[in-house]
């Protein structure tokens, strides 16, 4: 259910409505738009225990303009509940709206030289945030699993040297505290998109969440995962499409370009595209990146390594710095055409 407050409602009005919602046993999620405040009412309450119909009860408040039910199963994430695009602010960098944000960096953190050189290289070519995995979700338990906290320390050094926020994955709830010490954005990987206890935990933090779509997650399931994070009070969710499993084997996954317009219609959350994991081959990364800009994505998450040939994970799909810089020129031109700021 959504409560739309009247244009001139005060803090006191919002507090009173919130408390009415909570008295009925629901939780209230406040979102302040430029013109109006909207309160999301979520939770399941035994209808027999309610003294009055919640819609009718809330409508009697003088500061309430409208109350309506959200028809989608995802409530807080639905465009129906918030028409304006969400803009997620990461240390002053805005993701969403008319911004186009490039996040770049290696698949895994490997060494100081690798992180420093790659971070400085991508920074000069329009990257706004630095990516890198220290806890890696590898298919085989016998391959490199990530440097853990030592890797996060190297990322921090590179982030401070280049003034770029850190985007890094948290895989296991037991690592959350250590990842929180270094990360500016917590990445939830494709394999954990339906790890509901992890989603709830990161929803209780105050860090923005970059939520990757699973390789076999429908758009509705993906948005339900975003809802898990948001229902815990964290509204700063950035979605990321990274390719889905299809019958096609020429690429590692199939980039679902249609996810961009579908998600734009269904949700107000920003949408990034990861062309690297979708393609699995670096040669296809430029075309997919450009398609993403044209289709209305809010940014890209691209794997870049100073020496891809020696990368310990995902070597085939990482661009070198020169290739990234070449691509970023085209991205800039296209972003301008679709009315996005880089
Ligand atoms: C990553 O971005 O580091 C990663 C492992 O991607 P995904 O979870 O999409 O496979
Ligand atoms: Mn990777």
Can you name the residues that pair with 131 across neighbouring β-strands?
Answer: 167
Nearest to 85 by CA among 238, 254, 304, 308: 238
Residues 6+ apart with CB under 8 A from 47: none
Q: Which two tokens stand for residue 93?
A: 């960098």
State in Å: Cα 278 to ligand 1 middle: 10
Q: Is the CB of 277 under 6 A from ligand 1?
A: yes
**Mutate-to-test residue for ligand 1 from 145, 172, 193, 212, highest number of ligand atoms within 8 A of CB:** 212
pLDDT band with cut points at 50, 70 and 90 for residue 135:
very high
Q: Is the CB of 213 under 6 A from ligand 1?
A: no
CA dihedral (144, 150, 155, 160) in degrees, to 10, reads -170
Q: Is the CB of 137 under 6 A from ligand 1?
A: yes
Q: Is the CB of 242 under 6 A from ligand 1?
A: yes
Which numbered ligand comes closest to the C-alpha of 274? 1
Q: Which two tokens stand for residue 58?
A: 């809330």
Which residue, by CA, sits nearest to atom 6 of ligand 1?
Answer: 189
Domains of the chain and any CATH numbers? 2-69 (3.30.70.1140), 88-337 (3.20.20.70)
Q: Is the pLDDT of residue 33 over 90?
A: no
pLDDT digits (tens, 9 = 90+) for 34-87: 788 999 998 888 878 777 889 999 999 999 999 999 989 999 999 999 999 999
Q: Is the pLDDT of residue 164 over 90?
A: yes
**Could you tell me if 185 and 211 are in contact, meaning their C-beta atoms sit under 8 angstroms apart?**
no
State in Å: Cα 189 to ligand 1 middle: 5
**Mutate-to-test residue for ligand 1 from 106, 189, 192, 315, highest number of ligand atoms within 8 A of CB:** 189
Which numbered ligand comes closest to the C-alpha of 187? 1
Q: Is the CB of 275 under 6 A from ligand 1?
A: no
pLDDT, residue 60, reads 94
Which phi and psi (to 5°) does residue 60 adopt? -75, -15
**80 CB neighbour count, 10 Å cutoff:** 17
- Report the pLDDT averaged over residues 284-310: 98
pLDDT band with cut points at 50, 70 and 90 for residue 180:
very high
Q: Is the CB of 280 under 6 A from ligand 1?
A: no
Q: Is the CB of 133 under 6 A from ligand 1?
A: yes
Nearest to 29 by CA among 3, 57, 55: 3
Which numbered ligand comes closest to the C-alpha of 193? 1
CA distance 199 to 230: 9
Q: Is the CB of 189 under 6 A from ligand 1?
A: yes
pLDDT, residue 193, reads 98
Atom of ligand 1 nearest to the CA of 242: 9
CA distance 142 to 265: 42
Distance linking the first and last C-alpha atoms of the chain:
36
Q: Can you tell me whether residue 134 is helix, strand or coil?
A: coil
Atom of ligand 1 nearest to the CA of 190: 8
pTM of the model: 0.95
State in Å: Cα 136 to ligand 1 middle: 8
Which residue, by CA, sits nearest to atom 9 of ligand 1?
Answer: 190
**Could you tell me if 149 and 136 are in contact, meaning their C-beta atoms sit under 8 angstroms apart?**
no
């Amino acid at each position: 259910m959504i409560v739309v407050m009247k244009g001139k409602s005060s803090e006191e009005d919002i507090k009173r409505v919130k408390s009415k919602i909570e008295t009925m046993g629901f939780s209230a999620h406040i979102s302040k738009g430029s013109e109006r405040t909207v309160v999301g009412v979520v939770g399941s309450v035994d209808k027999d225990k309610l003294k009055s119909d919640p819609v009718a009860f809330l409508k009697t408040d003088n500061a309430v303009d409208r109350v309506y039910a959200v028809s989608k199963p995802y409530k807080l994430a639905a465009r129906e509940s918030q028409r304006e695009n969400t803009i997620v602010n990461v240390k002053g960098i805005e993701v969403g709206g008319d911004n186009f944000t490039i996040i770049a960096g290696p698949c895994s953190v490997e060494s100081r030289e690798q992180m420093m050189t790659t971070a400085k290289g991508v920074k000069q070519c329009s990257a706004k945030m630095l990516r890198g995995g220290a806890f890696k979700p590898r298919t085989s338990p016998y391959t490199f699993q990530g440097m853990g906290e030592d890797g996060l320390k190297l990322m921090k050094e590179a982030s401070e040297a280049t003034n770029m926020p850190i985007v890094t994955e948290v895989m296991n709830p037991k690592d959350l505290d250590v990842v929180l010490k270094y990360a500016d954005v917590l990445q939830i990987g494709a394999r954990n998109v339906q790890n509901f206890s992890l989603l709830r935990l990161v929803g209780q933090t105050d860090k923005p969440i970059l939520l990757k779509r699973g390789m076999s997650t429908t758009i509705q399931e993906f948005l339900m995962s975003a809802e898990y994070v948001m229902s815990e009070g964290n509204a700063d969710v950035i979605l990321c499409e990274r390719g889905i499993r299809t019958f096609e084997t020429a690429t590692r996954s199939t980039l679902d370009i249609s996810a961009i317009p579908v998600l734009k219609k269904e949700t107000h959350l920003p949408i990034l595209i990861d062309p690297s994991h979708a393609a699995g081959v670096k040669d296809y990364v430029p075309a997919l990146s450009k398609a993403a800009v044209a289709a209305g994505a809010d940014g890209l998450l691209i794997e870049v390594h100073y020496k891809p040939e020696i990368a310990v994970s995902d070597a085939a799909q990482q661009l070198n710095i020169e290739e990234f810089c070449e691509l970023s020129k085209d991205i800039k031109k296209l972003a301008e055409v679709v009315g996005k700021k880089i």
